[in-house]
Amino acid sequence: MFNDVIVGVGDYEAGRDAVALARELAASGRPFTLAYVEVVGPKRVPRSEAAWPEADCRRARKWLALLGDELRVDAEPVCVESHSVAKGLRTLAATEDADLVVIGASRRDEYERLLIGDDTREVLEDPACAVAVAPVGYASRPSRLKKIGIGYDGSPATERALAVGRRLVRDLGVSLSAFEAVPVPPQGYDPWNAQRELDEDVEEARARIAQLGDVEPQASSGDATEALARYGTSVDLLVLGSHKHGLIDKLMSGSTALQLADSAPCPLLVLADTPHAASPH
């Protein structure tokens, strides 16, 4: 479980979803921080909470406290200013030495994201610690975490995801599954045996995962994001490793985690792109 958790609250419904997920992932008896980030313009120097206008700070803290009371969590309300939500949460996480930041999925449509951006995706870009994303409506779901799923391909990032998944299974007493999305080669298969060859590749991927010994092996073919989204319907938390992406990746569709952030059928847990980043203890 995670010991030092920050919950980023931007609006009430997303905040409720994020708090509900944080309760599942935070170590028992450990309080966490409810954080509201006031976004200021590029020419305005962000201030500390102490320098906030007293009325603004009081209103924000009261709102956060009401959310904590409603959901019956032991949480400290904190208000910060920054040039973006992502920068504010990243700075706060570094200051508090947090091992997890939890946010709600974006409520913005594609037109709004184009005009004013997407805070959820920005928080997931190059995170300093693990980031969990609660899907829309998570606080109202009757069921909670019973099965952990890992996006797995044998890379160092997915090996770290598997290690975190195993620790969560140990702490929560739930089951563990791992999934590999098998890409279709650009050059294609032998047109006379394409389906057979693709099926063989999927079976080989499933067999590789089965060799891990303590996970339910799953695999299918196709686009990684679409395949993981389908897989997400069978698990209660999907753990993904994070990779750094260059400018071309960002101009295109971005990482799998970014593409899944606003539409995954289950909560996401995205790890930071370093083996030394904080993880559950």
∠ Cα 181 182 185 (to 5°): 140
User: CATH topology of 5-140 equal to that of 147-269?
Assistant: yes
CA distance 107 to 74: 26
What residues are paired with 82 via a beta bridge?
39
What token pair was written down for 68? 């904590």
* pLDDT computed for residue 280 by the predictor: 67
**Burial readout 86-111 (b: 16 or more C-beta within 10 A, e: otherwise):** bbbbbebbeebebbbbbbbbbebeee
| Cα four-point dihedral sign 87, 261, 16, 110 | positive
The residue extents of the domains of the chain are 5-140, 147-269
Residues comprising the chain, all counted: 281
Domain 147-269's class?
alpha beta
pLDDT tens, per residue, the chain with 281 residues? 899 999 999 888 999 999 999 999 998 878 889 999 988 876 566 665 556 666 777 788 888 888 888 888 888 899 988 989 999 999 999 999 999 999 999 877 666 666 667 888 889 987 889 999 999 999 998 767 999 999 999 999 999 999 999 999 999 999 999 999 998 775 655 666 667 888 899 999 999 999 999 999 999 998 888 999 999 999 999 999 875 544 333 333 457 888 888 778 999 999 987 644 445 66
Superfamily of domain 5-140, CATH level 4: HUPs (3.40.50.620)
